[in-house]
Amino acid sequence: MPFDTELTRRLGIKIPVVQGGMQYVGYAELAAAVSNAGGLGILTALTQPTPDDLRKEIQRTRNMTKNPFGVNITLLPSLQPPDYGAYAQVVIDEGIKIVETAGNSPGPVISKLRKAGIIVLHKCTTIRHAQSAIKLGVDFLSIDGFECAGHVGESDITNFILLSKARQTLKVPFIASGGFADGQGLAAALCLGAEGINMGTRFMCTVEAPIHQKIKEEIVKAQETDTALVMRRWTNTTRLYRNKVTDAVVKIERESKTGEFAEIAPFVSGKRGRQVFTNGDPDYGVWTAGQVIGLIHDIPTCDVLVKRIEKEAEETLTSKLKLAKAKL
Ligand SMILES: Cc1cc2nc3c(=O)[nH]c(=O)nc-3n(C[C@H](O)[C@H](O)[C@H](O)COP(=O)(O)O)c2cc1C
């Protein structure tokens, strides 16, 4: 039974599973593999050093898939912000139809994309931010629970509450993000009112994810307790894989008398974290992962994973329905 949700219809995909933007992971190989499997693959704009590199990456992805794929544009606080407008312009010029936005003050970028007729999925961790994004005219919300990898926000609301609250209050369709790895999760998300799911960490641990095999093996070994929250002191709370570097950051964060960000800056700089993905040493720097890491036990291709999720979700929903009928 193919899934037919607002997400599959509007995006023109077969299976309501989105691969969220991932810095230094969301390259053409992964995005194309997810889209070829029937989900929505997403390139991460800022993984490309310049807007022109993004253009080349979009063209590279087009050579690998005929199916729809999207681009993530993440707006983070920075002393020298990237030229978001130029990245958005490349997306428009290249005829991309779907963009995932995330981060702070997305208004100007969202309005530029909307004017060009692009479907915008905005990812956020609170209902308040979702409502602001609705005012900006987004087409879908991606509701990111506290379980998620990366920027968890400051409210600490997990998906059981957040998704039901979204269903009760939002007038715009939404997908569920954070903590999903299997079809049972997809079935649960649909029951809670979502039109599909978004996954990050699970897709890092696939054959096509362009990261070192040792990091994928580390993910398979990890438990749900193996993540750490850092940077709460600077209201930029981020969930990372727990390792020697995050332990050092947490210690400084807890004990620093000055509270100067500069004290932890060298530890959390993306530079060493990025190298983790190429040198395979999980303790070399900080890298992002969600609590769902404890539910990941293999390294499948995206095709096997996405189709397995579809099958498990279908079996879960039909078997529960049979159970309910049997009890009547
Ligand atoms: C390695 C990694 C890098 C990420 N980088 C970004 C990013 O640059 N922009 C963004 O919006 N989300 C980013 N995310 C978050 C994912 O898009 C997604 O929202 C999140 O992983 C969902 O939680 P999950 O890991 O439990 O599936 C990243 C996640 C991971 C695992």
How far away, in angstroms, is 59 Cα from ligand 1 center?
Answer: 23
How far away, in angstroms, is 124 Cα from ligand 1 center?
Answer: 12
Mean local confidence (pLDDT), 158-174: 98
List Cβ neighbours of 276 (8 Å cut-off, separation of 6 or more).
212, 215, 282, 284, 285, 287
Give this prediction's pTM.
Answer: 0.97
Ligand 1 within 6 A of CB of 122: no
Ligand 1 within 6 A of CB of 148: yes
How far away, in angstroms, is 20 Cα from ligand 1 center?
Answer: 6
Atom of ligand 1 nearest to the CA of 292: 26
Ligand 1 within 6 A of CB of 204: yes
pLDDT at position 2, please? 82
What does DSSP assign to residue 37? Answer: T
* pLDDT for 308 beyond 80: yes
The Cα–Cα gap between 310 and 323 comes to: 20
SS3 of residue 159 by DSSP: helix
- Give just the sign of the alpha carbon dihedral 46, 17, 301, 296: positive
* pLDDT for 67 beyond 70: yes
pLDDT at position 322, please? 84
* pLDDT for 44 beyond 90: yes
Mutation test residue for ligand 1: of 17, 18, 19, 22, the one with most atoms within 8 Å of CB: 22
Q: Which among 187, 231, 200 is positioned nearest to 293, based on CA atoms?
A: 200
* pLDDT for 43 beyond 70: yes
pLDDT at position 83, please? 96
Mutation test residue for ligand 1: of 25, 148, 239, 242, the one with most atoms within 8 Å of CB: 148
pLDDT at position 326, please? 80
pLDDT at position 325, please? 77
The Cα–Cα gap between 137 and 125 comes to: 18
* pLDDT for 247 beyond 70: yes
Ligand 1 within 6 A of CB of 70: no
142, 177 contact by CB (below 8 A): yes
The Cα–Cα gap between 296 and 201 comes to: 9
Query: In this predicted model, what pLDDT tens digit does every residue of 118-148 receive, in sequence order?
Result: 999 999 999 999 999 999 999 999 999 999 9
Ligand 1 within 6 A of CB of 21: yes
Which residue bears the tokens 């409502």?
131
Q: Which among 237, 220, 226 is positioned nearest to 290, based on CA atoms?
A: 226
Atom of ligand 1 nearest to the CA of 44: 8
Q: In Å, how far are 165, 173, 295, 310, 324 from 319, measured between CA atoms?
A: 27, 26, 22, 14, 9
Q: What is the largest CA-CA distance in the chain?
A: 65
The Cα–Cα gap between 76 and 82 comes to: 9
